[in-house]
Chains A and B, each alone.
Chain A
């Protein structure tokens, strides 16, 4: 059934599941588990915790499937559950921690090319983590999940303009913070130049 439902839209699969085809839910899991894990990881910064968030989100989604009214897309609805679950997870963790600043970023050193890149990533992500939750949500959804502002508004359960305003505030705040950190500004500029050059050469080769 999972193979059959592979070509169906999310809403069509939801209908199947609602009619009793439990296995069809498998397609929804396969379709959305990767982006959901990415989003969860951006908030909880720990792979195990992120996996828990994703599992919990899917279970909640399954149990509450009858509440899903196709006013938004299934993806937005699922992401909304995921963001809220991650938020709760963070809140629980905050209760257990005396200093959230000490939480290390679980960056896979092997996956990163250089120490400088790691350091800059960590500094930038620290600034991202310090954003208010709504601003961070809008930023993460837009930049890392490439969602439209309409989708972000659905995930955040807020008006379109509010989603956009949250994104704008996040970007402007980060701009100010990154530019006030001279070392970071210099590093990012150098590395951006580097990446731009890499992208240019890759594009040349591909063309």
Chain B
């Protein structure tokens, strides 16, 4: 915002009502004052070192004018371009296409990407499991058997316990 009003001030584009306020702000704010001075210097540099067009004679411009007018003599003013049939239907078609695309996205994509699709997959898996259970209960038992981490450690401990010697057992448990 500060940059904006500094430019307004620099270019004398500021609202007259704000002019005094800007002057006061500049007097109190040395940073803004510095920035204004920097921008003023930059602008002066651009004006002083303009790298402008070399000085050209009036003859040059007279010749250029003649060349332009010679070409103008051979040209015609083109009629205002009328909207073509394609451009006339383009906008409604574009709107309809956009609507259709959004509709399809909602109808087709939503089940695949939302909670509904998860629910659908769960329902399908459930149906398959029921069919499998009806056909082969043993396979289903294997399929649904579950061994958690704690089960594993219990099994491992059991195995080790079986292998313990009496000496080792007494060492751990005490005499």
Contact = CB atoms under 8 A, between A and B. Distances in A.
B53 A167 contact: no
Interface string B26-63: 00000000000011011111111111111110000100
B48 A63 contact: no
Contacts of B79: 66
Interface residues of B, number: 39
Contact of A66 (B41, B65, B72, B78): B78
Contacts of A196: 44
A58 B68 contact: yes
A149 B77 CA distance: 30
A59 B38 CA distance: 42
A14 to B, nearest CB: 10
Given A168-B3, A172-B39, A29 B48 contact: no
Tell me if B's interface is mostly helix, strand, loop or mixed: helix
Contacts, number: 133
A171 B9 CA distance: 14
Nearest to B79: A66
B92 interface: no
A175 interface: yes
Contact of A125 (B4, B47, B49, B73): B49
Contact of A33 (B44, B52, B65): B65
Contacts of B81: 67
Interface in A117-136: 117, 120-122, 124-125, 128
A121 B72 contact: no
4 smallest beta-carbon distances between A and B, as pairs: A108-B54, A125-B51, A121-B49, A175-B42
Given A59-B75, A143-B47, A191-B48, 19 more contacts: A25-B72, A26-B65, A26-B69, A33-B65, A37-B53, A38-B53, A47-B54, A55-B67, A62-B75, A63-B76, A64-B77, A66-B79, A108-B55, A124-B51, A171-B39, A188-B48, A189-B41, A195-B44, A196-B44
